[in-house]
Amino acid sequence: MTLSLSLPLRRPSPSVREQLPSHDHGYPTLRVVGIWAAAAVVLNGCSKAFAMTGWRVGYLAAPAGFVEAITAIAGQLSLSVATPSQYAAIAALSGPMDAVNEMMEVYSERREYMIGEFAKMGFAVYGGHGGYIALLDTLSGCGLSAPEFSLRLLKETGVQIGSWGAGMSGEVEHESGRFARISWLLPMDELAIAMDKIAAFVGRVKAEEEEGEAAAGGGGAKL
C-alpha cells in the first residue's frame, strides 16, 4: 500500500503554522511515500491558520500502533477538548479556505511592506517565511544591540519590539543579542505609523553616531 502525506518542514512548535505561506515559496512540504509513510507522524492544530488561539484544538495522524500508545498516555494526562471546539475544528478543516487565503494575502502584504521599509533604513531581516515574525539585525542597521535598540525605541517612541540574548544587566550574552523580533500582526495603518516612528528613531541614532565620530576625530592635541 502506498500512502502519500504532506508534512510541514519545520521544527515541532506549540504554534503550528502549516497554512501560513512561506512568501514566494508557498507552503514548504515534504512528500512522504511508501515505506517512509509508515513512520510518518503529523501533529497539527487550528490555532494560527484558523485564528482559534485559546481553543486548544489539535490533531494527530500516525500509524495505528503509535496512536494507541499515545492515546493511553494522553488519557491519563488531559481531558477531552470541549465538544463545541471539536465541531468548530471539523468545520474549519473541512470547510472552504477563502477566509484563510485572504488572511494569508494580508500577512504577505504587511511582510513585504515592513521588510522593505527596514531595508531602506539599512537593516538586514531574516526569516518571516511560514509565519508572521522575523528577526531584525539591529547591529547592521544602526550599530545598537537588540536589547539597547528595543529599550530606547520603546522609551523614545512608544513602539515595542522583542529582543533576544540579553541578561538581567541588559548586556548581550551571545550572538542572538543582535537580533530583535518584529511582527506584522497589526493593521497596515498602524504598521505605517510604527515604521515612521522607527525610521525617525534610527535617523537620530545614526546622527548621534556621526556626531560622536566627528568629535572623536577632532579631539587630537593642538600645537
Residues 64-85 have pLDDT tens digits of 888 888 888 888 887 778 899 9
Selection from 146, 123, 126 nearest residue 135 by Cα:
126
Residues 132-150 have pLDDT tens digits of 888 999 999 999 999 999 9
CATH architecture of 104-217: Alpha-Beta Complex (3.90)
The answer to whether residues 123 and 143 touch, using CB atoms and an 8 Å cutoff, is no
Selection from 116, 119, 194, 184 nearest residue 157 by Cα:
194
pLDDT average, residue stretch 57-65: 86
The pLDDT score that the predictor gives to residue 163 is: 73
Query: For residues 147 and 53, what is the distance between their CA atoms, to the nearest angstrom?
Result: 29
Instruction: Decide if pLDDT at 103 tops 80.
Output: yes
Q: How many residues are there in the chain?
A: 223
- Domain ranges in the chain are 4-95, 104-217
Residues 119-134 have pLDDT tens digits of 999 999 988 776 788 8
Per-residue confidence at 32, pLDDT binned at 50, 70, 90? Answer: low
One-letter identity of residue 105: E
CATH architecture of 4-95: 3-Layer(aba) Sandwich (3.40)
Do 4-95 and 104-217 share a fold?
no
The end-to-end CA distance of the chain, in Å, is 90
Q: What does the DSSP 8-state code read for residue 71?
A: H
Q: What is the DSSP string of 100-153?
A: HHHHHHHHHHHHHHHHHHHHHHT-EEE--TTSSEEEEEHHHHHS--HHHHHHHH
Query: For residues 72 and 102, what is the distance between their CA atoms, to the nearest angstrom?
Result: 39
Q: CA quadruple 11, 17, 18, 21: dihedral positive or negative?
A: negative
